[in-house]
Structure formats: structure tokens, C-alpha cells
Chains A and B, each alone.
Chain A
Amino acid sequence: MEFIALTITAMVPFLFVAQGTMLSGRAGIFNVAQEGLMLLGAAVGYLVSLAVGSNTVGIVVAGLAGAVFGAVLAWATTYLRMDQFVVGLALFFLAGGTASLLYRVVIGNDEPPRIKPLPDVLLGQDLLVYLAIALSIGLWWWLYRTDAGMRLRSVGENPKAADSLGIDVVRTRMVAGTVGAALMAVGGAYLPMVFSGVYADGIVAGRGWLAIALAFFGGWRPQLILLGSAFFAAMDVLAQRAQVLGIGVPHQFVSMLPYVATLLVMVVAFRWALVPQFLGKNYDRESRIVG
């Protein structure tokens, strides 16, 4: 029982960030600023919660901060058609730098005060756990069972065809890029509220990059990302367990397990691990080259 609870808590930040990556990616925007956006979400979420005394406000403001960066990414890659990967990394630096700077300016080098953890609402889990799972199922339903979702997917698969059928490619990408980045920042804001109570520059610890890996791992499909994140989180908790219990194998090798297992699954699963056709590619409506 405790194992399941730990797995769920470990899974939540991955879910928000990987689903955000997936949502942007299905519209063709490949966001690679996760690590920075999570850091920004963590810093903003922590500082606002501290100042206002409400975690909810902290999460909302963190999401808004992420949305601003997502909008810049979407604007730069649609209106200006700048390289997605490069802009994403530049924003990663800016977001990460802003996060550290905000924290340094507000808190300085003092011992940081802890914020209240998120309260449990049901079965000993906090509200964001249920939100994250509802988000995954909701995104699946929205992408595959509604017209608007199909339109969004078509923009990521073949924007030229989508455009010719009257779908506004630029607007779709703006919305998907903005909302996706907001989700990433929310995933970051979860970290100080559940794990540490404080912000630190190393708080994200590569989770952003892992979330990109999980988006690929889940074949850019929300339902599989949910399963993939659960699998990865379970392996991670298992590795920590084995470390504590001591099973005769050096703990470093146990800690490798989640990463190696994810790679092995990808090797077996490369058939279903589809990627949106226009992932990371900009759409130029005046271009004569198709695809």
C-alpha cells in the first residue's frame, strides 16, 4: 500500500510535464525547456505560496509564469519560424536563470522557511494527484474523441493539409504551446509543495529531461504516457526500496534500473513508439516543399 502511495507521488510531476510535452508536441511544437520551466514553476510556486500563504495561488501563478514562456516559444516558432530546438534551449536558460534569480532576490542566502505541504483530500493523496490522472484521461478523451482534439493532432501530423481544410495552424500551435508549458511549470511547482517544502537550484534534478524521454516512451499518447510514467515511478521507488533493504547488489546498480528498463522497453516497443510527423518542424504556408 505504501509502495503504491510512493509511486503515485513520484509519478505526478512526471505526468504534468510529460503530458504538457505531449500536448505541445501533438500540435508540432517540440518544447525542450522542461528542465527550466519546472525550475521556474518550483521557484514561483514556492515564493508565491510563501507570500500569500496559499498553495493553490502558488500553483496558479506558477502555471501562468510557464504559460508566458510557452507563448514566447510558440510565437517565435510560428510567427518568426525560428528553430524550435534552439529557442527552446534559450528559454530553458532564461527560465532557469529567472528561477534562481527570483529566489536569490527574495530569500537571499538565509535559511529558507518551509511552506505547508499540500493537504490530503482522498485516500491520503493530495488534489494534484487526482488532477494529474484526470488530466491524462481527459487529454486522451479530448484528443481522440472530440473534433477539436482531432484538429490539434492534424496540425502536428500534416499542417499543410490542416491549413487547406481551414484549421488555423498558428493559433492551434499558440494555444497548445502555451498550455503545454503551463502544465510543465505546474509539474515543477509540485516539487517544493510535496517533497522538500523549500526551493533549491537542484530541485528538478533532471526530471525535465526524463519527462521528454517519457513522452517518447509513451509514443506521444496520453494514456500510454500515464502508464509509462507509472512504470518509471514504480521502478524508481523499487530501486529506493532495494537500496534500503540491501539485496546484496550495490545500490548504484539498483538505481540504474529505471533508466535501463525504460531503454529496454523502447527497444522492444519501437514499433508503437510513433512520433508526430511534424514534431519540431515549423510550418511555412508559403513554402512549396511539402513535408
Chain B
Amino acid sequence: MSTAVLARPSAGERARSAAVAAVPYVLAVLAAFAIVAVLIALLGHDPAKAFRAVLTNSFRTPTGMVQTLQKWVPLTLLALAFAIPLAAGRFNIGGEGQLILGATGSVAVGITLSDLPMVVLLPLSILAGVAAGAFWAGISAWLMERFRVNEILSTVLLNFVSFEILDYVASVVWSDPGAGGAVTLPIGEGAVLPTLGRPPMHVGVLLVVVLAAVAAVLARRSVAGFELGAVGLNERAARLHGIRTGRVAVLSMVVAGAIGGLAGAIEVMGVHQRAIEGMQSNFLLLGIIIGLIARGSLTAVPFVAFGIAVLEVGAGSMQRVSGAPVEIVLILEGLILLFILMSDVVMTRRRRSRAKAAS
């Protein structure tokens, strides 16, 4: 540890350097939009109309905003579930399995104990979801640590197992005979998350805001956050300096699983009031892309997730208004990620050539 005391840069300086750092991001996003605009025009639609529809849909009506926030919740959680192990150099591709197990745990409590009062049932349902998700990721973590089974392999395989578990629970154990399809019975009233405002928005959003803030602070300021990053940057060096790297990696997976499980619990308790086959939607992929666009920064994840949620919710309205197909949004997201990566390469080259010119 160095004992030199560095002067903290003033707030103005910090803001300026942050603004400079943001320039390549803005350019990358603009470039992605420009290419997609050309594509939309080639398909014979009006790009200006399409973009206006996709970007304003969330802000024009309260319903649009609620839809966006409702999408933002699982996206943020699954992005965190991907980004936290990523910081330790581990790849959690099991977010959807963890979400499904969380949903299963949550409905199990919400249905079997449906008579309990809300004070007991609500936290119990959330905890059951969190524990089930953590358990599911824990299997992969244990196989990774004990048997060196690659975590990509195990998380992917367990996703497929989880689909069957949900199918079993939703069409055999607690099947709703009137629903037609793999859908469970509704959970007890006490397990439904309270709502705020009009149109109603479940309070899970507040929970996620708090969780995202805590995660961001812990990643930057806590010993655990430091160890996590150290393992990811150089595992051997971290081990030599006395960090128990295996334990950090396992914990990062288990925490990720708990967060994925929370996403499942909130989807059940706030959105569907039951578990439905296919409720995992495409949250896993979007969570991965959000984690990558945020470049693993837990602080950036909620903001990126909001942007992606706006695009996803706006896609349908874009197709209705301008006729441009919803698939355009997938391409837009891929291009944004690719160009942000490219901007990294360009910045590194510029820095190198500037350093060369200076010496």
C-alpha cells in the first residue's frame, strides 16, 4: 500500500473527465442507430418515424412507463446475475434456470401456505425464490470447484433441466385446470406484491433499485468487491496475495443465483401472480448483453438495462406505427454492443500513439 496522499480531483474535474469518457459510448450508439436507419430505409420504411415510436413509447403514456419498469426489473437482476460472476472471470449462462427455480420456489410457498397473513407470507415467498435460485447456481458452483466441470456447460445444462421442472410444477403438481396450458394456480393474496400509483406498479421495482445501489457500492467499496475484481483480473496473483480464489468464485455464482431467483420471485409475485411456462422470456440473453454493454460495471447495469427495456417495450409500437419489423431491435442491440467494443479498440490505439508521440 502506498502511503502517498493523492489529492482528490474536484467535482468539476471529475464531471469533465466523465463527460470525455462518455464520448466514445455516445458515438458508438449513434453509429448503431445510423446503420439501422439505413437498414429500415432499405426495407422501405421511414426510419425517423420508427425511431420516434421506439424511443418515445415508454415516455408518452403512464402505461408505457409501467411496462418499461416492469421489464427493467428482471433485466437488471439477470444482468447483475451475469455481471457479478463475470467480475471473477466466471460465466453464468444459467440466469434463466435460476429465474425459473426462483419462480418455482416462490409459487411453492405462495400456494401451499396461501392462508398465512401477508407479513409472514410475502417475505417467506421472496426468500424461497432467492434460496431456490442460489441453490440452483450452487450446483454449478460446486461442480466447478470440486470437479472442475466448466461452468458454462453446467449452467446451460441446468437451464434445460429447469424448463422440465417448471413444466412439471405447472402442469402436474399445482396445475390450474381452467388455464389451458402449463400454468400454476394463483398464489395466495398475502404473497402478491403491493402496488403503487396508477396504472399499478408493483413495489418490486423499489426493491431492485435498492439492491442495484447496494451491489454497486459493495463492488466499489467493500473487501468482497475488491477480492471479486482481483480474482477476475489475475487469479494467480490474487491467490498469491492470500485471496481464497475458489471461495470467491463459488460465492459470486451463488450470489448471482440468489439474484436470479429474486427475479423469478418478483415475476411471480408482482407480474403474473402464478408461474407460467415460458415466463423466462428472453431475459437471459438481454441480461447478458446488458452486462456486456455495461462492461461488467455494476453501477452502469441499471442504466443500460433501462435503455434496453425502452427499446424492447418500444419495438412493438415501432412495428405498429412505421411497419419496420420488431427484429430490427435485436440487430440494433447487437450493433450497439459491437461498436462499444470497437470504440475501446480505437481509444486504446489513440492512447498508445499519443504516448508514443509524447516520448
Contacts and interface: CB of A to CB of B under 8 A. Distances in A.
A217 B152 CA distance: 11
A259 to B, nearest CB: 4
Contacts of A263: 143, 149, 153-154, 157-158
A267 interface: yes
Interface string A68-90: 00000000100011110111011
Contact of A94 (B150, B159, B334): B334
Contact of A206 (B148, B152, B159): B159
Interface stretch (A97-105, A110-118, A124-132): A97-105
A90 B341 contact: yes
Interface residues of B, number: 41
B164 A93 contact: no
A98 B331 contact: yes
Interface in A222-261: 250, 252-253, 255-256, 259-260
Given A93-B289, A93-B333, A98-B331, A212 B153 contact: yes
Given A94-B334, A270-B149, A255 B157 contact: no
A260 B344 CA distance: 40
A105 B325 contact: yes
A90 B334 contact: yes
Contacts of A273: 148-150
Interface in B101-151: 143, 147-150
A270 B338 contact: no
Interface residues on A, range: 35 or more
A109 to B, nearest CB: 10
A273 B154 CA distance: 14
A255 B163 CA distance: 10
Contact of B156 (A90, A101, A212): A212
Given A85-B91, A252-B168, A94 B341 contact: no
A97 B282 CA distance: 13
Interface in B33-72: 43
A133 interface: no
A253 B172 CA distance: 12
Contact of A100 (B91, B143, B327): B327
Chain A interface main SS type:
helix
A17 interface: no
B337 A90 contact: yes
Interface in A188-222: 206, 209-210, 212-213, 216-217
B325 A101 contact: yes
A101 B164 contact: no
B327 A259 contact: no
A214 to B, nearest CB: 9
Contacts of A98: 331
Contacts of B150: 216, 273, 275
Given A104-B327, A250-B172, A93 B160 contact: no
B156 A213 contact: yes
Interface in B332-349: 333-335, 337-338, 341-342, 344-345
Given A101-B327, A252-B167, A259-B157, A93 B334 contact: yes
Contacts of B160: 206, 210, 256, 259
Contact of A101 (B148, B167, B168, B331): B331
A13 interface: no
B259 to A, nearest CB: 20
Nearest to B331: A97
A209 B337 contact: no
A50 interface: no
Nearest to A102: B327
A210 B342 CA distance: 29
Nearest to B171: A252
B153 A97 contact: no
B279 interface: no
A270 B168 contact: no
B152 A266 contact: no
A85 B168 CA distance: 34
B285 interface: yes
A235 to B, nearest CB: 12
Contact of B330 (A87, A97, A216): A97
Nearest to A291: B236
Contacts of B329: 97
B165 interface: yes
Contact of A210 (B154, B156, B158, B165): B156
A80 B342 contact: yes
A91 interface: yes
A165 to B, nearest CB: 26
Contacts of B342: 80, 82
Nearest to B329: A97
Interface in A23-64: none
A273 B143 CA distance: 14
Nearest to B44: A105
B153 A217 contact: yes
A216 B342 CA distance: 29
Q: Which 3 A-B pairs have the closest CB atoms?
A: A93-B334, A97-B330, A97-B331
24 contacts: A76-B341, A89-B292, A90-B335, A91-B338, A94-B334, A96-B330, A97-B327, A97-B328, A100-B327, A104-B325, A104-B327, A206-B160, A210-B157, A212-B153, A213-B156, A216-B150, A252-B165, A253-B164, A256-B160, A256-B164, A263-B143, A266-B154, A270-B149, A275-B150
